[in-house]
Homo-oligomer: A and B are copies of this chain.
Amino acid sequence: MARRRKRSGLVAGVDLGGTKVTFGIVNEDGKILAMDKRKTKATTGIEGVLDRVVEGLERACTEAESELGDLDAVGIGAPSAVDFEEGVVIHAGNLGWKNVPLRRLLEDRLDLPVLVDNDVNVAAWGEFTAGAARGWPDALGVWVGTGIGSGLILGGNVWRGAFHTAGELGQMVLQPRGGLGRRTVEEHCSRLAMIRSMETLIGSHPQSRMRTALSRTPEAGPIGSSVIADAYRAGDELVLRVVDDAADLLGLAIANAVTLLSVRGVVLGGGVTDALGKPFVERVRESFEWHVFPATLRKCRIVAADLGDSAGIVGAAALARAHIVGRG
Contacts and interface: CB of A to CB of B under 8 A. Distances in A.
Interface in A143-173: 150, 152, 154-155, 159-169, 171-173
Contact of A262 (B166, B259, B260, B296): B166
A171 B297 CA distance: 12
A177 to B, nearest CB: 9
A162 B264 contact: yes
Nearest to A262: B161
A137 interface: yes
A174 interface: yes
A168 B295 CA distance: 12
A261 interface: yes
A172 B259 contact: yes
Contacts of A162: 136-138, 262-264, 300
A164 B296 CA distance: 10
A291 interface: yes
Interface in A270-328: 291, 293-294, 296-297, 299-300
Given A160-B262, A261-B161, A256 B173 contact: yes
A264 B174 CA distance: 23
B257 A260 contact: yes
B291 A173 contact: yes
A137 B85 CA distance: 15
A291 B171 CA distance: 9
Contact of A294 (B81, B173, B176): B81
A252 interface: yes
Nearest to A160: B262
A122 interface: no
A294 B168 contact: yes
Contacts of A256: 172-173, 256
A259 B249 CA distance: 17
Contacts of A173: 252, 255-256, 291
Contacts of A252: 173, 176
Contacts of A176: 174, 249, 252, 291
Interface in A102-157: 136-138, 150, 152, 154-155
Contacts of A249: 176
Interface in A50-84: 81
A300 B161 CA distance: 11
A261 B159 CA distance: 8
B294 A260 contact: no
Given A252-B176, A291-B173, A296 B260 contact: no
A156 to B, nearest CB: 11
Contacts of A184: 293
Contacts of A174: 174, 176
Interface of A: 81, 90-91, 136-138, 150, 152, 154-155, 159-169, 171-174, 176, 184, 249, 252, 255-257, 259-264, 291, 293-294, 296-297, 299-300
8 contacts: A150-B260, A152-B261, A163-B264, A163-B297, A166-B260, A167-B262, A173-B256, A176-B291
